[in-house]
Amino acid sequence: MLVLRTLVLAPAHGHTIAHAIERGSGDVLQVEHGSLYPALHRLEDRGWIVSFWGTSENNRKAKYYRLTPAGRKQLTVQTTRWEQVVRAIGRVLKPATK
């Protein structure tokens, strides 16, 4: 979901995505960047993103990922579901604010 969100604006390559997630989360989500690649592989396999080879900002060969329409739809679905879950958990944790 986070990967998909990163790709909404523009296609990006693995490095950018990793850093974008890290920064976007305010460095809370610190993971080994390598674990991103299996995730990307899975997403691509499900047809939510497609990849193409391009050149990075500093002229390195890099593989770019772009969101597909199916991926866009999936993002909406997952975001909605996530928000529901968060709301639900929130409600459980703070019943008083109800």
Partner 1 sequence: MSLRRFFRREQWDRERSEEIESYVRIETDENVARGLPYAEARAAALRKLGNRTVIREEIYRMNTVTFLDTLVGDIRYGLRMFARSPTFTAAALLTLAIGIGANTAVFSVVNSVLVRPLRYPKAEELVALHQDAPGAAGLANAADGLALSPSMYFTYAEQNRTFQALGVWLAGTANVTGLAEPEQVRTVSVSDGVLQALGVPPTAGRWLLAADQIPQAPEPMSFTRRSSTVMLSYGYWQRHFGGDRSAIGRSLTVDSLPRQIVGIMPKGFRIVKTEPDLILPLAFDRSRVILAGFAFNGIGRLKPGVTIVQANADLARLLPVWMDTWTNGPGTGGGRWYENWKIRPTIRPLKQQVVGNVGDVLWVVMGTIALVMLIACANVTNLLLVRAEARQHELALRAALGARVARIVRSLLVESVMLGLMGGALGVGVAYAGLRLLVAIGPADLPRLNEISVDARTFAFTLILSVFSGLLLGLVPALRYAGPRISAALQSAGRTLSVSRERHRARNLLVVAQVAIALVLLVSAGLMIRTAQALRTIEPGFTGAEHLQTVRIAIPSSLIPEPQRVIRTQNDLADRLAVIPGVTSVGFAREAPMEMEPPNWDNVFPEGKVYAGNVAPLRRFENISPGFLHTTGARLVAGRELTWTDVYGLRPMVLISENLAREFWGTPAAAIGKRLRQYPSMPWQEVIGVVQDVRQNGIQEKAPEIVYWPAMMPNYFVRNAAPVVTRAVTFVIRSERAGTEGFVTQVRQAVWAVNASLPLASVRTMREIYEESLATTSFTLVMMGIAGAMALMLGLIGIYGVISYAVSQRTREIGIRVALGAEPGALRRLFVRYGLALAGAGTAMGLVAAAGLTRLMKSVLFGISPVDPLTYTAVPLILVAATVLASYLPARRAAAVDPVKTLRAE
Residues of this chain that interact with partner 1 (CB under 8 A) are 13-15, 18, 32-35, 37-38, 41-42, 45, 56, 58, 60-63
Structure tokens at 14: 């693995």
Pinpoint the alpha helices (H) of 1-98: 2-7, 14-24, 36-45, 69-93
Helix axes 14-24, 36-45, angle to 10 degrees: 110
In the complex with partner 1, the residue whose CB is nearer, 13 or 48, is: 13
In the complex with partner 1, the residue whose CB is nearer, 26 or 95, is: 26
In the complex with partner 1, the residue whose CB is nearer, 13 or 74, is: 13
In the complex, the smallest distance separating the C-beta of residue 65 from partner 1, rounded to whole angstroms, is 10
In the complex, the smallest distance separating the C-beta of residue 27 from partner 1, rounded to whole angstroms, is 13
Which class for 64: exposed (0-12), middle (13-18), buried (19 or more C-beta within 10 A)? buried
In the complex with partner 1, the residue whose CB is nearer, 35 or 97, is: 35
In the complex, the smallest distance separating the C-beta of residue 93 from partner 1, rounded to whole angstroms, is 33
Contact 4, 43 (CB under 8 A): yes
